[in-house]
Amino acid sequence: MDKLISISQLSYKLNLISPNNKKPKNYILRYWEKEFKQIKPKIINKQRYYTNKDIEIFKLIKHLIKDKGITINGVKNILN
């Protein structure tokens, strides 16, 4: 079975952290989750947990948006 990580752990892993208060930017991951149908978190006790497959998709999305400057719609076209 895949190891599951929480949304906050994933935010830290992807370096999606607010520079001011050092808190994770979970809202970004929740937004991407709504926009990209490929991401399907496991909901356990009303908390999101992500598999390795989800993590790889998030890494790709972050790379394309943050590093390459591609728009959300552009990334959707790439992933479909």
The set of residues, in sequence order, having a beta carbon less than 8 Å from that of 76 and lying 6+ positions away, is 35, 36
Q: What is the pTM of this model?
A: 0.89
Each residue's pLDDT tens digit, 40-67:
999 999 999 999 999 999 999 999 999 9
Annotate 62-78 with b (16+ C-beta within 10 A) or e (fewer): bebbeeeebeeeebeee
- Measured CA to CA, the distance from residue 50 to residue 70 in angstroms comes to 24
Nearest CA-CA partner of 29 in 46, 4, 49, 45: 49
Q: d(Cα 45, Cα 48) in Å, to the nearest integer?
A: 9
16-42 pLDDT, tens digit each? 999 999 999 999 999 999 999 999 999
